């Protein structure tokens, strides 16, 4: 019954996102309400805005995702406050599903280097086996007790306290291109970033899910973001 | 050439707003990612959320307006920070149009009562005539000088400093239902409000423009807002 | 070595909070920069601001707390975004201490009533014993495995994934009176609240810790908050 | 009676700002609640946080300024939303003082270059004289009419609509080091900035007022900000 996963999903539920909205918003500043509908040079304008860090035109759009990720990822995710809206599955109102994160052996689990600038490298077979066995044991045991406590009349909000941080939870996440670029700049690791970031791998997986949709919905904005060093304007 | 207006416009440019988005977001909390698509009782759920002040489900939507209003209105408007995005016409990048606000005689211009709880009543013919003549004079004179300064090589950002607060400016305003309800509760005066507000008439005109669109796009949410005393959840 | 607690602590670390700052800020609006230093009627003014929901004067102050609470409490706490700043202990940068929350028998653990309006009542001796034994078992077992994984070279950020939600974590929390009143109105249950709230008991314990300091630092503001139905202005 | 000024003032009213608060907040993440009081290497830690763009530790402090500036400056200032609190003099509640901004001949008033990258150079004597005479005329004339309208019973909130954008207004502004650094990075022009900004001179004057206080209150933070290219973390 217990399920282990090692992926994150970020499904696009609704959106109102386009490069055009960025260019239109910017032209209100420079042309006013008479801004024509010409797309002549949206991508040039968008690149200019990104480079000069004019951030506000990137806020007039919206993407809503249904994201599934373990709680330790949500804890990092929800530190992003500005331009983010959340509705997460509640352990007070519903029984949580027995779905847990288990890193597979493509996840580098050994940390090397000194504080502040770590690198992660692959583990040994023994280490991956130990992780798998400990994770399985703890998840199964704690979920059994979680269910038993509820069967014995203990409230969901109390019983859930002993569930581990790798249990999955899902949430609606609504953001705009500006807040998303801030998220991407901090939660992905890219060679060509002007400011290097060292995100935990699992939140980066969520970020990459967002990034794929973003690149498709707003190709000029995305390409300007990449071209200008992944700095959020 | 100079133009006087006494209206505010709030044109809906783009939106991704529906009652359904509210209900869906709320159901993620209680049902999780398996939330079915049944609309069976969206309006009951929405009313429950409003009454119990569960605000976050009202954030997963977006409305973008092109608003035209005088600068003294924008000054009040931009105090609304959370869940609002703006791109306003810039007096640094473009020459402002000679369009000014002139209150007509449906605008109560005389203030009565003591501090904190004023009432506004109609003015006399003389008062309206005085307003019209003073406004016309100042707007024409200052706009002439504004143009002359620029013709003489003075930068737009300097010349505009002598324009009056009733000159119109336009902006893109993006908001969601939650931030909009907060705006409406503070910027409209309604008999049945749980918390009475005393907005300046001109920003209330902008608010009423938003309100008409909101009522149409999200009828269940709007009706729950009204029914529960116009308190933003 | 493993420690169980059933309390929350909110220690005031630094603050710059006074009723005077509220009154001074409000007087800038009505008197301007010449606002005299007279305290003559600060409390009357503060009560007026609270009643009329003029919220901004309550933002010009600051309180920083060092808070110790289990992770399931932090998850709720960090949903408060506006006017809140956080720095939390990191499971990536340090080994977490073996301190866990265990509800004692003063905590009502049985939920009664229908969805949306639950009540909590005391459990039986058997239920409390079951909770204690399950919590002890899971905390000890998972912490042992957490340590063993790290001893075997697995990174902290991976090993911590199997720790339960009731492990304590500490954080700096900075807020102002306005954001705090919003927190208190949602995270405490009080008979005389204009809008009833149904917080989980454990976050209410944190809220009550804040409330005691708030009442002492800003007595007029606090008393106006209570008198006006615990509605954040 | 009418007064002309060409300066901006930013007086520090209250504060709770220190480098120590930054280091303490950061140490909660890495050491937890046992963080010792040793200042051994606060400045090294602060520089690390700035360089690596760990922004949250810079939020646990507060500065409140009483700022006096013309309305066209406030319009730009109030676009800064996150981490800023405002209480401004109200033209609805009080009669505004006849104090106006008049640029003197140290203000470069002629704009050169193409859109997006302007430079400002000194004006001619004729240009400065024209500005002075136009500003004086408009300010005196409009303020006379403003007073006369009110003497004739027209409400302050209506009469003020014809005042020019260069009239002074004062406000309480509360911010923290992180929001202030964002403001400084966008509203000052400095050779060594990683991202060049082109602020209007008058808001830069306000920014420089803040900057002087910031440098004194939080010298290590300020020096790390400058050293790392004036990028807000």
pLDDT tens sequence across C202-225: 999 999 999 999 999 999 999 999
Three-state SS for A185?
A: helix
Q: What is the mean pLDDT of chain D?
A: 94
pLDDT of residue A30: 83
Question: What confidence tens digit (pLDDT) does each residue in A182-220 have?
Answer: 999 999 999 899 998 999 999 999 999 999 999 999 999
- Sequence-distant (≥ 6) Cβ neighbours of residue D128 within 8 angstroms: D104, D105, D109
Q: Is the confidence at residue A167, as pLDDT, over 60?
A: yes
pLDDT along chain B (233 residues), means of 10: 96 97 93 61 94 96 98 97 96 96 96 81 97 98 98 98 98 98 96 92 98 98 97 94
Of A62, A68, A97, the CB nearest to B62: A62
Q: Is the C-alpha dihedral spanning B54, B57, B62, B63 positive or negative?
A: negative
Kindly determine whether residue A30 and residue D82, on different chains, have CB atoms separated by under 8 Å: no
pLDDT of residue A115: 67
- The DSSP code sequence of C161-229 is GGSBTTBEEEEEEEE-HHHHHHHHHHH---TT-SS-----HHHHHHHHHHHHHHHHH-HHHHHHHHHTT
CB C217 within 8 A of CB C63: yes
- The DSSP code sequence of B83-109 is TEEEEE--TTTSPPPSEEE---TTS--
Kindly determine whether residue D97 and residue C32, on different chains, have CB atoms separated by under 8 Å: yes
Kindly determine whether residue D52 and residue A79, on different chains, have CB atoms separated by under 8 Å: no
Length of chain C as a residue count: 233
pLDDT of residue C151: 98
pLDDT of residue C114: 75
Kindly determine whether residue D29 and residue C87, on different chains, have CB atoms separated by under 8 Å: yes
Token pair 């944190």 is found at C206
C5 to chain D, any CB pair closer than 8 A? The answer is: no
Which residues of chain D fall short of a pLDDT of 50?
Answer: none
pTM score of the predicted model: 0.96
**Which of C116, C176, C198 should be substituted to probe chain B, the one whose Cβ sees the most B Cβ atoms within 10 Å?**
C116
D114 to chain A, any CB pair closer than 8 A? The answer is: no
A160 to chain C, any CB pair closer than 8 A? The answer is: yes
Taking CA D68 as the corner, what is the angle to CA C29 and CA D140, rounded to the nearest 5 degrees? 90
D107 to chain B, any CB pair closer than 8 A? The answer is: yes
Q: Count the helices and strands in chain D (H runs, E runs).
A: 8, 8
pLDDT of residue B29: 86
A29 to chain D, any CB pair closer than 8 A? The answer is: no
Q: What is the mean pLDDT of chain C?
A: 94
pLDDT of residue B39: 57
pLDDT range class, residue C116, cuts 50, 70, 90: low
Q: How far apart are CA A208 and CA A10, in angstroms?
A: 9
pLDDT range class, residue A113, cuts 50, 70, 90: confident
**Which of A27, A29, A31, A52 should be substituted to probe chain D, the one whose Cβ sees the most D Cβ atoms within 10 Å?**
A52
Kindly determine whether residue B68 and residue A33, on different chains, have CB atoms separated by under 8 Å: yes
Kindly determine whether residue D16 and residue C14, on different chains, have CB atoms separated by under 8 Å: yes
pLDDT of residue D115: 67
The interface predicted TM-score (ipTM) is 0.95
Q: How far apart are CA B146 and CA A113, in angstroms?
A: 63
CB B9 within 8 A of CB B68: yes
Kindly determine whether residue D52 and residue A116, on different chains, have CB atoms separated by under 8 Å: yes
pLDDT of residue C124: 97
Question: What confidence tens digit (pLDDT) does each residue in A25-79 have?
Answer: 999 988 776 555 555 689 999 999 999 999 999 999 999 999 999 999 999 999 9
- The per-residue b/e assignment along B204-224, b for 16 or more CB within 10 angstroms, e otherwise, is bbbbebbbebbeebbebbbbb
Single out the residue of A152, A98, A194, C199 nearest to residue B53, CA to CA.
C199
B 70-89 → A contacts, CB under 8 A: 85-89
Which structure tokens are listed for C232?
């954040």
CA distance C203 to chain B (A): 17
Which structure tokens are listed for B118?
């004023």
Which residue on chain D is closest to C88 by alpha carbon? Answer: D29
Rounded to an integer, the average pLDDT of A167-183 is 98
Three-state SS for A60?
A: coil
pLDDT range class, residue C30, cuts 50, 70, 90: confident
C1 to chain A, any CB pair closer than 8 A? The answer is: no
- Phi and psi of D169, rounded to 5°? -140, 155
Kindly determine whether residue C87 and residue D25, on different chains, have CB atoms separated by under 8 Å: yes
Taking CA A82 as the corner, what is the angle to CA C166 and CA B72, rounded to the nearest 5 degrees? 145
pLDDT range class, residue C36, cuts 50, 70, 90: low
Rounded to an integer, the average pLDDT of A162-171 is 98
Chain center to CA of C149: 33
C186 to chain B, any CB pair closer than 8 A? The answer is: yes
Question: What confidence tens digit (pLDDT) does each residue in C63-88 have?
Answer: 999 999 999 999 999 999 999 999 99
pLDDT of residue B48: 94
Kindly determine whether residue B56 and residue C79, on different chains, have CB atoms separated by under 8 Å: yes
Q: How far apart are CA A165 and CA A72, in angstroms?
A: 5
Give partners of C (≥3 CB pairs < 8 A).
A, B, D
pLDDT of residue C191: 87
CB C117 within 8 A of CB C214: no
Q: What is the mean pLDDT of chain A?
A: 94
**Which of A95, A174, A178, A179 should be substituted to probe chain B, the one whose Cβ sees the most B Cβ atoms within 10 Å?**
A174
B 53-72 → A contacts, CB under 8 A: 56-57, 59-62, 64, 66, 68
B–C CB contacts, 8 A cutoff, strictly below = 15
Single out the residue of A223, A229, A214 nearest to residue A47, CA to CA.
A223
pLDDT of residue C1: 84
Which structure tokens are listed for B138?
């100042």
- Phi and psi of D117, rounded to 5°? -145, 65
A110-112 and A119-121 strand pairing: antiparallel
């Amino acid at each position: 019954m217990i399920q282990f996963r090692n992926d994150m999903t970020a499904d696009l539920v609704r959106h109102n996102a386009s490069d055009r909205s960025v260019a239109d918003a910017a032209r209100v500043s420079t042309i006013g309400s008479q801004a024509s509908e010409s797309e002549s040079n949206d991508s040039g304008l968008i690149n200019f805005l990104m480079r000069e860090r004019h951030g506000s035109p990137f806020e007039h759009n919206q993407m809503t995702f249904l994201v599934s990720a373990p709680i330790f990822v949500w804890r990092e995710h929800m530190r992003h406050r500005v331009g983010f809206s959340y509705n997460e599955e509640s352990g007070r109102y519903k029984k949580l599903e027995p779905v847990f994160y288990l890193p597979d052996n493509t996840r580098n689990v050994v940390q090397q280097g000194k504080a502040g600038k770590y690198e992660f490298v692959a583990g040994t077979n023994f280490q991956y086996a130990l992780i798998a066995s400990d994770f399985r044991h703890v998840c199964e045991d704690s979920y059994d007790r979680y269910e038993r406590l509820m069967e014995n009349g203990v409230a969901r909000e109390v019983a859930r306290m002993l569930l581990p941080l790798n249990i999955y939870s899902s949430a609606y996440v609504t953001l705009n291109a500006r807040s998303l670029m801030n998220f991407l700049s901090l939660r992905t690791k890219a060679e060509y970033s002007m400011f290097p970031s060292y995100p935990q791998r699992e939140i980066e997986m969520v970020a990459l899910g967002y990034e794929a949709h973003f690149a498709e919905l707003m190709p000029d904005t995305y390409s300007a973001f990449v071209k200008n060093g992944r700095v959020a304007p």
